[in-house]
Amino acid sequence: MHNYEVRVLNLLEKRGSASLTELEEHSKLGKDQVLWALHGLESKGFAMLRYKEGQKVVLSAEGRKYAEHGLPESRLLRRISESGVKAGSLDSEEDRIGLQWLMKKKLAQMENGILKINEAGTAALKKEFPEERVLKRIAEGKGVHPGDELDSLKRRSLIEVESSNEFESAEITQKGREAAKSSVEDSDEIGSIDREMILRMSWKGKKLSEYDVSAMVERQFAAKKHPLKQTIDRIKDAYTSMGFREISGPTIEPAFWVFDSLFIPQDHPARDKQDTFFLDNPKSMEIDEKSYVKEIKEAHEKSWKYSWDIDKARQGVLRTHTTSVSARYVHQAIAKILSEENAEALPLKVFSLGRLFRNENIDYRHLADFYQHDGIIIGKDLTMANLFDTLIKLYGKLGIKLKFKPSYFPFVEPAAEFYGFSDVTNEWVELGGSGIMRSEVTGISRNKISVLAWGAGVERVLLMSKNNGIKSIAELYNNGIGFARDMRSV
């Protein structure tokens, strides 16, 4: 037996049974060394190990903040307890969270645009909020009992509850007592070889301890990629395996590249503040491609019958799709194709993948910022059949079955939406849009060259597999370390 095993076995022989703390203290070994020795003794039948099942509750970053300063609803309740607060002044994120929970708990009411405390709220102020009390106990390292407060805090991502299977005690067996009588520490047996032993060659002549690779060990948290990053990498790999080259572009753009260059009229609903984040800085951005601006202006005024405004095209916006990257690439590529500078053989196949921003109503499929991928193929004699075949192969590499239906998008004609079958909900989920770019966008007639284009969300790919357990896009942006640790590879 290894020296560690002998020490622990001799202690158990004297005591009959002992806890981990007792064994650490009296053996003069570290925790990991004692655990290793115990598992070795258990595998030899010299000891029985007992474990207790339980739950470990830890605070998230947001939970630690609320444990120290109080929940948003309790702070807001104290603010409105005297004269109320105008609803319009509740513009911070915490105010909005506090308002949501005050109304849900029926502790306040809205009267003529003023948030006022009610009778239930007045009673709640006289005592500590149960959830706050639980947060403080967890922060102080005190025990908590399962209940509604823990469930509520978990739903709010303020805590993480982890299952635990902790070592409780070890007890010597009859076989172990017999072995203890003849056991002695063997100075010639070693459990590991370190740098010094190699340099001094002192490992020679020593006996190496046997290891039980099936023995239980403490849980290790190996480094891993976030599930969203894994999905992004999978999509990029799918594209590159099909001969596509990645391109990229800026997040902040003039509205020209996000809307006008894609033949979206300046009075289109998608351009108003309900869908787009317009910037104060930069409020206006220059557009270098003057001749192309002139072409787009003429196309808009001819087809949409309105007076095109350059100032609206210069508005600074957070891009609402990565198709703005495709629009700039198509303009530059077509210019080369029409000149003698083009040295690349058709078809040209590129993709972009990046973050975008939309003023969306948030639900399990939508966030205000998320990721999208776009694909472009420029070539001769390309049809919708080529487009469908490409998308079916692309998503087939991601394990998703597709179907298509006719649709409308301003910059492509004909156009089609594509849907993927979800293993989670057993239904078809909309993934994105596709089509052949209009000549008003490409500046070239379709009988000479065609541009196939598509764009789709990235996060929805994750929602469509029941193997990863993700039910909401919001889960992907959870700050809790437990989410990353427990998440399986996607």
Q: Is the pLDDT of residue 221 over 80?
A: no
434-485 pLDDT, tens digit per residue, is 999 998 888 776 667 899 999 999 988 888 876 666 767 767 776 666 666 6
Give residue-wise pLDDT tens across range 128-137: 888 888 888 8
Report pTM.
0.61
pLDDT class of 191 with cuts at 50, 70, 90: low
Same domain, 335 and 467: yes
- Packed helices 31-43 and 3-15: angle between N→C axes, nearest 10 degrees: 80
In terms of domains, do 95 and 235 share one?
A: no
**Could you tell me if 409 and 479 lie in one domain?**
yes
Q: Kindly state whether residue 289 falls inside one of the protein's structural domains.
A: no
Q: Which of 304, 338, 347, 250 is nearest to 440 (CA)?
A: 304
- The answer on 194 and 153 residing in a single domain is no
Same domain flag for 155 and 14: no
- Whether residues 344 and 475 share a domain: the answer is yes
pLDDT of 62-83, one tens digit each? Answer: 888 888 888 989 989 988 887 7
CATH number at residue 371: 3.30.930.10
| Residues 152 and 174 both lie in one domain | no
Residue, of 33 and 383, whose pLDDT is higher: 383
Q: What is the pLDDT of residue 228?
A: 86
Asked if residue 313 lies in contact with residue 275, where contact means CB atoms within 8 angstroms, the answer is no
- The predicted pLDDT at position 418 comes to 95
Which of 314, 293, 304, 321 has the alpha carbon at shortest distance from 267?
304
Average of pLDDT values for 203-217? Answer: 70
Note whether residue 302 is domain-resident. Answer: no
- What's the rounded mean pLDDT across residues 164-174? 83
Sign of CA dihedral 326, 328, 331, 334: negative
Q: Is pLDDT above 90 for 203? A: no
Mean confidence (pLDDT) of the chain: 84
Pick the last residue of a domain from 160, 182, 200: 160
Q: Are residues 139 and 204 in the same domain?
A: no
pLDDT value for 383: 92
- As given in the structure block, the two tokens for residue 223 are 């480094």
What 207-212 contacts at long range (C-beta under 8 Å, 24+ apart), as own/partner pairs, is 209/2, 209/40, 212/39, 212/40, 212/43
- pLDDT grade, residue 235 (50/70/90)? very high
CATH assignment of the domain containing 135: 1.10.10
Q: Token digits for 155?
A: 């739903």
Classify strands 207-208 and 189-190 as parallel, antiparallel or unpaired.
parallel
**By three-state DSSP, how is residue 158 classified?**
coil
Give the Cα separation of 317 and 107 in Å (integer).
Answer: 40
pLDDT band (50, 70, 90) for residue 254: very high
> In this model, does residue 357 exceed pLDDT 70?
yes
- Assess whether 177 and 67 both reside in one domain: no
d(CA 415, CA 240): 25
For residue 126, name the pLDDT band (cuts at 50, 70, 90). Answer: confident
**240 pLDDT higher than 90:** yes
Looking up residue 186, the CATH number of its domain turns out to be: 1.10.10.10
Q: Exposed, middle or buried: residue 52 (CB in 10 Å: 0-12, 13-18, 19+)?
A: exposed
Residue 290 located in a structural domain: no
In a 3-state reduction of DSSP, which class is residue 295? helix
252 Cα distance to chain centroid? 23
Question: For residue 309, is it within any domain?
Answer: no
**Closest alpha carbon to 300 in 275, 324, 325, 267:** 267
Whether 281 maps to a domain, the answer reads no
Please indicate, yes or no, if residue 422 is contained in any of the structural domains: yes
In a domain, 447, yes or no: yes
Number of domains forming the structure of the chain: 3
**Residue 217: CB partners within 8 Å, gap ≥ 6?**
35, 39
* Pair 8, 27: CB distance under 8 Å: yes
**56 vs 397: which has the higher pLDDT:** 397
Q: Are 75 and 26 members of one domain?
A: no
pLDDT digit string, tens, across residues 405-436: 999 998 999 999 999 998 778 889 899 999 99
Of the chain, the percentage scoring pLDDT greater than 70 comes to 86
pLDDT value at 276 more than 60? yes
Which one has a higher pLDDT value, 6 or 342? 6
Q: Say which residue, 433 or 369, is predicted with more confidence.
A: 433
Residue 343's pLDDT is 45
Other CB atoms closer than 10 Å to residue 470's CB: what's the count? 22
Q: Is 445 found in the same domain as 382?
A: yes
Clarify whether residues 235 and 344 are in a common domain: yes
Q: What angle do CA 333, 338, 343 make, to 5 degrees?
A: 65
**Which residue segment(s) compose the domain that 83 sits in?**
59-160
- The arithmetic mean of pLDDT across residues 188-203, rounded, is 80
**pLDDT(185) > 80:** no
Mean pLDDT is lowest, of 117-121, 137-141, 419-423, for: 137-141
Question: What is the predicted pLDDT for the residue at 341?
Answer: 54
pLDDT reported for residue 275: 77
Tell me which of 208, 242, 266 is where a domain ends. 208
190: which strand partners?
208
pLDDT band at 148 (very low <50, low <70, confident <90, very high): low
Among 46-50, 128-132, 236-240, 274-278, which is the least confidently predicted range? Answer: 274-278
Residue 82, pLDDT score? 77
Chain-centroid distance of CA 341 in Å reads 43
pLDDT per residue over 278-323, tens digit each?
Answer: 888 899 999 988 988 998 999 999 989 999 999 999 999 999 889 9
**Using an 8 Å Cβ cutoff, are 418 and 403 in contact?**
yes
Q: Where are the alpha helices (DSSP H) in 321-438?
A: 323-338, 384-396
pLDDT band at 146 (very low <50, low <70, confident <90, very high): low
Give the pLDDT confidence score for residue 179 in this predicted structure: 86
Residue 233 placed within a domain:
yes
